[in-house]
Amino acid sequence: MSTNAPVQFAIISGPSDRDVMLSFMHMYDKHADVKVVFRIKFERMTWNLIGKIAAVAYDNGARGHFMLELRCPNGKSYKGYYDANKREGWLEMQ
């Protein structure tokens, strides 16, 4: 039996809480291109993931703790948790 569990990427560095909210506010603004950069790690590889915040919610009501959806220019979408205070979290490809 094969299970296709989503791969989880660790966020090792990312944007401030202000930048997360700015990217979300300007997601559909044709005149502003506000992207965020997450440095992610999977096994021994690290790379930058650049995109716009398409959905955001405060996790447990604490400032800087987000459940979010990141949409990249290549059409890929990621969902995950991000702690802007510690600049770490995780993302899963959708």
Compute how many other C-beta atoms are within 10 angstroms of the C-beta atom of residue 10: 15
Q: Give the model's confidence band at 10: pLDDT under 50 very low, under 70 low, under 90 confident, else very high.
A: very high
Residue 8, pLDDT score: 94
Confidence category of residue 3, pLDDT binned at 50, 70, 90: low
Q: How far apart are CA 27 and CA 6, in angstroms?
A: 25
Question: What distances in angstroms separate CA 32 from CA 24, 27, 28, 78, one per listed residue?
Answer: 11, 8, 9, 22
Name residues whose C-beta falls within 8 Å of residue 87's C-beta, 6 or more positions apart in sequence: 11, 13, 14
What pTM, to 2 d.p., does this model score? 0.89
Long-range contacts of 44-47 (CB under 8 A, 24+ apart): 46/12
Helix (H, G, I), strand (E, B) or coil at 61: coil
